[in-house]
Structure 1
Amino acid sequence: MEIRLLRIDSRLLHGQVATNWAKVLKVDRILVVSDQVASDNIRKTLIKQASPPGIRVHVIPLMKMLRIYFDPRFNSFKALILVEDPRDAQILIQNGIQVKLVNIGALSFNSSRQMVTDSISVNQDDIAAFHWMHDQGIKMDIRKVSGDSSKDLWKVLTEKGLIKLNSQGAAH
């Protein structure tokens, strides 16, 4: 399976993903990977209804994503993976999903989160997951749509004081 993009977006599949990312990436599958959504028939139905013409959308739990990723029957897939939160992205990568870049679209605000951009808010679990990805050499790109200029999430988190650097410039 060729993962064309792993995107973290609490909104999952919506207009920007359906019309912009899927077209630009030339994917034939959108895989919404979420244990919660996979067990919620209403959300699953709504997400499938948002699918762009000609692209199959599947809503699957995390462990099923890992099984199909390593199953040679799915080698022809050109996929966009959507997850709701950084921890789910970390679990996929820790278990063997190969990506060099993670795109962050939006992370919804609530009282346990701190805003870091106009569309991204984080909590300590998110920061820990992003820290782990950074330590693996994974670039974290903030863009709503493909034509937006890319912002480096690590740089934003550092500038906001959410990542502490030692005197050698390494995170701790």
Structure 2
Amino acid sequence: MTMDIRLARVDSRLLHGQVATFWTRAVTPNRIMVVSDSVAKDPLRKTLITQVAPPGVKANVVTVNKMIRAYFDSRFDSFNTLLLTETVADMLKLAEGGIDFSKIGINIGSIAYNDGMTMLTDAISMNGDIAKQIRTLANDFHLDVYAQKIPAEKKENLLTLLDKKGF
């Protein structure tokens, strides 16, 4: 047995209102795992994230390596997990570490805009490096990588969106 990951989401805002309300209702986790090396080292951000978890759901902030170890540790088999990363790169590291996302795919909720990026959707910005990481998840790991802000919205295939914008 391994941990039950019910949603794997890339969201540059990590745990916020949409995730805490809509997504937790949709996937009914008992644990939110925020996976970020930088947030795990930042006591203020770590505290803020653990405090915004909805009632009845515990939030943890862990490094990428700690998440990989926990996934394979039978002590965490009871976790029904909503997994959040800040970047596609971190999600790719989790897949490379052996975490199986084949049943659920990878949800891309938001990627913050920075200089030199192109808007793919109203919430997802893209550059060549991120596009390559998404294609690796989709092609090398055979994962469904999709855009979906909230559960009520229709999923959009990320590869199709990348192709439309020339990535």
Do the two structures share a fold, i.e. TM-score over 0.5? yes
Give the percent of matched residue pairs that are identical in Structure 1 and Structure 2. Answer: 43
Once structures 1 and 2 are overlaid, which stretch shifts more, 122-131 or 139-148? 122-131
- Is contact 1:87-1:125 (8 Å) kept? no
Q: Which runs of 4+ in 1 moved over 3 A?
A: none
Report the equivalent of 2:90: 88
Report the secondary structure of 1:59's partner residue: strand
Report the equivalent of 2:99: 97
Q: Could you tell me how far apart the structure 2 residues matched to 1:86 and 1:117 are?
A: 16
2:146 maps to 1:144? no
- The size of the alignment, in residue pairs, is 162
Q: Could you tell me how far apart the structure 2 residues matched to 1:78 and 1:148 are?
A: 23
TM-score (norm 2): 0.95
CA RMSD of aligned residues (A): 0.8
From 55, 59, 62, give the equivalent of 1:60: 62
From 158, 162, 165, give the equivalent of 1:157: 162
| Structure 1: 5+ residue stretches without partners | 163-172
| Structure 2: 5+ residue stretches without partners | none
Q: Could you tell me how far apart the structure 1 residues matched to 2:153 and 2:81 are?
A: 21
- Is contact 1:33-1:61 (8 Å) kept? yes
**Greater C-alpha Rg:** 1
Q: Could you tell me how far apart the structure 2 residues matched to 1:75 and 1:91 are?
A: 21
Report the secondary structure of 2:166's partner residue: coil
